[in-house]
Structures are given as structure tokens and as C-alpha cells.
Amino acid sequence: MKPMFTALSLLVLTVSVIRTEAQVNPYKDGTPGVTGYRSEVLAEVMIQEDKFTRLAEAIPAEKYGWRPSPEVRSFAEVFLHVAAANYNLYKLVGTPPPSGFEVKGFEKSTSDKAKVIATLKDSFAHAKKSITAMPDADLGKGMDWFGGKNTERGILLFIVRHAAEHLGQSIAYARFIGVVPPWTEDMQKKQPEKKESPAKE
């Protein structure tokens, strides 16, 4: 009886954790230790992390090499491309990528679901650490950017936009293979069933 109770308790705890993770809302819960513009960026990054991770978990492992046409990225390559950007682009605002990271060939390094998800999570942890670590005073610092000029504030905006583009790409891929984004499923479950209105005579 005791092992069954332990297993049941673990199941309840796991479900509770899953439900908590499914309700990421930094606009309500805040971004401890970060304020101002960086807080706004961090909030978006936290939401993107939640959506990318949950979508990656919803995609069947055998579909990680799937792509809608030969010339575009597969699921695994899109997720790893986003991870590579999280590691590589934040060096522009003061946080270098992890030791041993090499951007060239990174997005083609694996199509193993577990490895891709772990890499994605680690990369978002790196992104959040980078945003938290940078001083507000650096936001206005300028740099050369694609033949023009930009600021560190603009770099953060670019990184968020870049990830958002690939999140949209991933959602389209998922819909194409019949996978409903998990947050959409959440909303559908919350909606009360519509009662059929009586037929008018």
C-alpha cells in the first residue's frame, strides 16, 4: 500500500509542477532582480522559453528531422538555431557563450529530441542570465550593426524578434503535422462547452 501511495503522491506532484510550468506569466509574477527595459525584455524571453520548450516537448521524436521542403530547416534545426542565437548573440551585450561553443554547424549537431530540448533549455538559462547581468547603464551603448549603428537596447530587441520569428515558424510546422500548440490546448480546455441553443420554431 505504501509504494502505491508514494507513486500516487509523486504523480500528483508531477502534475502540479506541469500545471505551474504551463502558467508562465512574468507580467503578473514579475522578474525578480530586474527592472525597467531589461525586465520587459526578460518577460518576453521567459514566455518564449516556455512556448519553445512546451512545443518541442509536444513534437514526436520521429518528427524532429521533418521539414516542409528540402531547402528549409527541420524541427531540430529550428530549435537549435534559436539555441545558437541565445548563446551567440548575447556576447554583444557582455555575456560570452559557454566555453567550447561553436556556432558553425551547431544547428545540425543533433536531431535527438532529448538533446535538443536540453540544449534549448540551457540556452534560455544563458539568455536570462545575460539579461540579468547587464547594467542598465549599458543599454544606450552604441556599436556597428549590419553596416549601420545600433545600441545594446536594440540588440536585445533584435534577439527577441528573432526568436519570435522562429517560434511562429515552429508553430506553423507543428500545425502542418497535426500538433496543436500546448498553450492553445490549455485555452481550449478552459473554455466551457457551448450549449446547443434550442431550435427556433
Q: How confident is the model at residue 71 (pLDDT cuts 50, 70, 90)?
A: very high
Nearest-angstrom CA–CA distance, 27 and 144: 32
Span 87-135, pLDDT tens digits? 999 999 999 999 999 999 999 999 999 999 999 999 999 999 999 999 9
Predicted pLDDT of residue 103:
95
Span 78-97, pLDDT tens digits? 999 999 999 999 999 999 99
Other beta carbons within 10 angstroms of residue 156's beta carbon come to 26
In Å, how far from its chain's centre is CA 45? 7
Nearest-angstrom CA–CA distance, 142 and 139: 8
- Mean of all residue pLDDT scores within the chain: 88
- Would you say the pTM of this structure is higher than 0.85? no
Domains in the chain and their CATH numbers? 27-180 (1.20.120.450)
**Residue that wins the pLDDT comparison between 192 and 145:** 145
Helix 75-88 vs helix 113-133: angle between axes, to the nearest 10 degrees?
Answer: 20
